[in-house]
Amino acid sequence: MTTTAAYCPALFLTAPASNQGKTTITAALARYFTHQGKVVRVFKTGPDYLDPQILAQASQQPVEQLDIWMAGDDYCQDKLFQAAQVADLILVEGAMGMFDGEPSSADLAARFGIPMAIVMDVKGMAQTAAALATGLANFRDDVKVAGIIANCCGSERHAQLIRDALPKDLPLLATLKRDEEVSLPERHLGLVQAEEVKDELEIRFEAAVEWLKSTHDNGLLTLPAPVAFYPATLSVESTLPVESTDDLRTRLTGKTIAVARDAAFSFIYDANVIALKNMGAKVVFFSPLNDTILPDADALWLPGGYPELHAKALSDNASMRESIRAFHQTGKAILAECGGMLYSLDDLTDLNDACYPMVGILSGQGAMRGKRGCQGMQTAVLPQGEIRGHAHHRSRSANTPEPIGYGRRQRHPAPGEAIYQHKGLTASYLHLFFPSNLEVTAKLFLADTLSREITHSSSSLS
């Protein structure tokens, strides 16, 4: 394997906390440099489905997740190396605050030598913004901070107060006025899916380009210095050594996997689809909202999404529900994650307390519960092995069967999300990241293997 570095300008957008404007500014920069004829590759830190949809439309390039815990150090390294070979600019959007989480955005930036720009909503403060930024920039010696971006800055006088209070080695890269025309639409789990507001986003992206052009720019709109990215020492296809992956490349050869994808089911990592294809599977998409029957397939994946927003339409499509029930009766493999699990239950109560029949291949009822929810990184502990993922939901399930096990939380001893397996069905609130363990992924989509291991697990528990 070559050890030659690929060099590409790169910038990591971080913040002292959530809701500072990172996604808006990352999307604006991506579209700005795209207009300059540059190829911009954007990555999102952590397990996020919604921001990448927005950023992919803004950059007109695929957007993937980078997370050292969930994906592995070598996986992240190779993704950056591959991007650096084709891009003129790499942007990485952080998650939460700069040092939040294990690993944090700062950990990721430090590991790969990417300079960070701190996005701060400076409304209601001036010199204090400089004090906070200085503290963040000097909190760790291994993190390089290129400067700060003052978002929602009221005036040039406001900007000058911040600028004068900053140390000379921490520049104010840009000051951006508050502008509702560039704000991104949101709902209860975060940003609205890009596909639902595609035309509106285009208007906002173009407004954001003008927003950036009108800024007091001190380097933000200039390509940053190149960063050296190196190939990984292990296979990018899994966390296993290179010599262990040859068999994995053919594990799903000849298998067709049907994947639900529409407005109700869209929480799909591109990396997961790529992983299935890399193991030889043919991936076909279908819509539980609009199609009447399943396509011909050997396995079925019902990913997460917003079934609660489309519960009536999903329920009214009785033909599709019957088609999935018939598929389940054959014993073929089905993976149902979060929203897909809610769809698999007997019924679902939406945000308006209306209850609708669902597929009924997993006993129980699902219901939305307002603003309360569950989120966090977890390892799914399965009879097939362990695979990493995360939970993020504002619903609850009740009267479900006895689970075969629970997720193992990253940093807390309490049991994580319940995991159910019956016949070929695996269901949980967990969203799995397939590249974290391709061996387990393959087993979940191979019905005969899955059935044997479910039977063995049941016998062991009895």
Distance, in Å, from the CA atom of 311 to the CA atom of 342, rounded to the nearest integer, reads 10
d(CA 363, CA 59): 43
Residues known to be catalytic: 338
Question: Residue 102: what are its φ and ψ, rounded to 5°?
Answer: -135, 100
CA distance 378 to 70: 9
